[in-house]
Amino acid sequence: MPQKRSLITLVSVKQAKEGFTFLHNGPAPKCEGCRYFHVCVQNLVPGRIYRVVGLRDKTVQCELTETDMMVVEVVESEIETAIQSKQAIEGALISFQKQECRMGDCENLELCSPKGLFDRDRCEIVKVTGSVQCPQGLPLARVLLRWAPAS
């Protein structure tokens, strides 16, 4: 599955670097009246992680934060997570499910319940990067997933 097309948005000038990733939390209530609302936040999905892949030679001032913002191109970022080993086939499409863990202090907690993915998300397995040592003994693989919503 090819990488999705890039989206145009705004990030602060300090964050405007290729490879920078961020979690989009959605617009602040004051954003809706802003003239940049449509390009800045409307085309991004709250709760998803995006990666800057291109910079445009255009800056504007955010009226809410009084911060210089740069126009950038972003794509949905690949997310490292743990899935059942039997599902770990590069190129496969899966329905993502966070791992059930009874250990609140597990070293793999962020890997098993990553930000940017939700239960039942349709995802492509971009790469299998290894195995996960699960204290509960679950057979888990470490993978990179890309959210792949149905067209």
What pLDDT, on the 0 to 100 scale, is given for residue 143? Answer: 98
Average pLDDT on 79-83 reads: 97
Segment (H or E) for 109? helix 109-112
d(CA 1, CA 123): 10
DSSP lists the bridge partners of residue 85 as: none
Single out the residue of 78, 79, 142 nearest to residue 107, CA to CA: 142
d(CA 71, CA 67): 13
What pLDDT, on the 0 to 100 scale, is given for residue 4? Answer: 67
The percentage of the chain sitting over the pLDDT mark of 70, rounded to a whole number, equals 97
| pLDDT higher than 80, residue 81 | yes
| pLDDT higher than 50, residue 1 | no
| pTM (predicted TM-score) | 0.86
Residue 6 near residue 18 (C-beta atoms within 8 A): no
Residue 75 near residue 53 (C-beta atoms within 8 A): yes
What pLDDT, on the 0 to 100 scale, is given for residue 3? Answer: 56
